[in-house]
């Protein structure tokens, strides 16, 4: 049975349409995916993303454990800094993509994909034997809200005394919103400026209702979250990323720090660095149609790959997507509903000049 959000009743009051995603019963949309998408691009929207896993790692060897099980360099972190990283299998393939928050020199918070929460929690426990740190899954004790869009900062600032302009991209601050203890992180998965807020289940309803009722922030579902991330070319676990894919193939070599020392998957990554079996890229349809994950990709009559993510872009007003192919192509054909649709291969992001601040537009899944 699907897990339920703590705020499910509040979403029902807002007329959410639900669907099952990653073993959770989640809002798909409220007033319509396209309208919610455009609201985030132009103003501000709020998402309940509490399905994402939240795991605390605490102890004097926490940094050493995380350095061993993640691909990025934990030593680049300092309290208040967040880092995008990968958890890899011993074979060098992607077990999950995560965000690591350094709360103190000994305490870290991991945000992991919902479908992988139990897997990553158990992987941490399995590799903790020689590090002996405290590991706790706090997913059901907390909620995670995302306030995203170019007006996110000015909207949120009314409810906290801490100057949000002091939080750079991929940094966070523990402070208060309407006198409730929260962790405020300048991160997101939309390509716009915004914040993600970790808050206890005791306090989340008041904060959520202030933003949706008093501020009239548009609630947004996973439908809009998906089209927003797709326009930026951000990968999604289970689509572009999985345990059959290496960071080299997924264009995530920038979060692999081979020079940092030993970590799980390193030897395999070195061996596979020049042995890619597929190429990840973006595409735009050159004729009417909406591509979907799983559609086959052809070069004339030869099958050369498959679509990993596809949808309609509300900004470009055409079908876009991500695909894996066996080589590099400039133009391909997408097979959907027994029709071959012409598409040009492009390098994401599909849209530029969004409101992300501090000049960094890396994936923030």
149 vs 159: CA distance, rounded Å: 17
Domain shared by 201 and 302, yes or no: no
Q: Which residue positions form the known binding site? A: 196
**357, part of any domain:** no
Q: With CA atoms as reference, report the closest residue to 267 among 127, 94, 91.
A: 91
**351, part of any domain:** no
Domain shared by 315 and 236, yes or no: no
Domain shared by 149 and 189, yes or no: yes
- The one-digit pLDDT tens for each residue of the chain (365 residues) are 999 999 999 999 999 999 999 999 999 999 999 999 999 999 999 999 999 999 999 999 999 999 999 999 999 999 999 999 999 999 999 999 999 999 999 999 999 999 999 999 999 999 999 999 999 999 999 999 999 999 999 999 999 999 999 999 999 999 999 999 999 999 999 999 999 999 999 999 999 999 998 889 999 999 999 999 999 999 999 999 999 999 999 999 999 999 999 999 999 999 999 999 999 999 999 999 999 999 999 998 899 999 999 999 999 999 999 999 999 999 999 998 889 999 999 999 999 989 986 444 444 33
CB–CB of 170/359 below 8 Å?
no
Domain shared by 172 and 36, yes or no: yes
Tell me the CATH number at 294.
2.40.30.110
**8, part of any domain:** yes
Domain shared by 132 and 21, yes or no: yes
**123, part of any domain:** yes
Please give the residue range of the domain that contains residue 335. 277-346
Tell me the CATH number at 193.
3.30.1360.120
**231, part of any domain:** yes
Domain shared by 118 and 239, yes or no: yes
Domain shared by 157 and 230, yes or no: yes
Domain shared by 52 and 144, yes or no: yes
Location of structure tokens 């959520």 = 208
Domain shared by 104 and 9, yes or no: yes
Q: With CA atoms as reference, report the closest residue to 217 among 187, 191, 185, 195.
A: 195
**272, part of any domain:** no
**162, part of any domain:** yes
Domain shared by 302 and 230, yes or no: no
What is the number of structural domains in the chain? 2
The C-alpha R_g of the chain, in whole angstroms, comes to 20
Domain shared by 232 and 288, yes or no: no
**352, part of any domain:** no
Domain shared by 162 and 297, yes or no: no
Beta-carbon contacts of 139 under 8 Å, excluding residues fewer than 6 positions away, are 50, 52, 53, 54, 55, 117
**pTM score:** 0.96
Tell me how long the chain is.
365
| Tokens describing residue 269 | 């990554």
Q: Which residue positions form the known binding site for substrate? A: 196
Q: With CA atoms as reference, report the closest residue to 158 among 177, 145, 171, 143.
A: 177
**For strand 218-219 and strand 45-48, is the pairing parallel, antiparallel, or unpaired?**
parallel
Q: Which of 204, 224, 245 finishes a domain?
A: 245
CB–CB of 133/57 below 8 Å?
yes
Beta-carbon contacts of 98 under 8 Å, excluding residues fewer than 6 positions away, are 70, 84, 85, 86, 87, 110, 111, 112, 113, 120
């Amino acid at each position: 049975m699907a897990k339920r959000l703590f705020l499910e009743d509040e979403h029902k009051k807002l007329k959410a349409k639900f669907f099952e995603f990653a073993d959770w019963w989640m809002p798909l949309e409220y007033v319509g995916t396209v309208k919610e998408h455009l609201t985030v691009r132009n103003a501000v929207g709020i998402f309940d993303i509490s399905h994402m896993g939240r795991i605390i790692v605490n102890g004097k060897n926490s940094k050493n454990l995380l350095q061993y099980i993640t691909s990025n360099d934990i030593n680049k972190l300092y309290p208040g800094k967040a880092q995008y990283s990968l958890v890899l299998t011993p074979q060098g393939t992607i077990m999950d993509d995560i965000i690591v928050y350094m709360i103190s020199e000994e305490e870290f918070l991991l945000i992991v994909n919902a479908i992988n929460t139990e897997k990553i929690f158990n992987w941490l426990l399995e590799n903790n034997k020689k590090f002996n740190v405290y590991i706790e899954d706090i997913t059901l004790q907390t909620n995670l809200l995302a306030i995203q869009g170019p007006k996110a900062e000015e909207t949120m600032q009314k409810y906290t005394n801490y100057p949000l302009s002091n939080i750079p991209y991929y940094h966070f601050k523990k402070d208060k919103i309407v006198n409730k203890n929260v962790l405020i992180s300048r991160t997101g998965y939309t390509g716009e400026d915004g914040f993600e807020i970790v808050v206890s289940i005791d306090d989340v309803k008041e904060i959520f209702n202030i933003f949706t009722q008093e501020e009239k922030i548009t609630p947004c579902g996973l439908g809009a979250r998906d089209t927003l991330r797709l326009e930026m070319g951000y990968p999604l676990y289970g689509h572009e990323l999985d345990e059959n894919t290496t960071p080299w193939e997924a264009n995530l070599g920038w979060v692999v720090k081979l020079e940092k020392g030993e970590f799980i998957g390193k030897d395999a990554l070195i061996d596979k660095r020049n042995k890619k079996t597929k190429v990840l890229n973006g595409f735009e349809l050159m004729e009417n149609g909406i591509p979907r994950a799983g559609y086959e990709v052809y070069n004339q009559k030869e099958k050369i790959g498959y679509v990993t993510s596809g949808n309609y872009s509300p900004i470009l007003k055409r079908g876009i997507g991500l695909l894996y192919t066996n080589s590099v192509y400039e133009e391909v054909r997408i097979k959907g509903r027994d029709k071959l649709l012409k598409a040009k291969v492009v390098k994401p992001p599909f849209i530029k000049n969004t409101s992300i601040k501090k000049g960094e537009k890396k994936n923030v899944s």
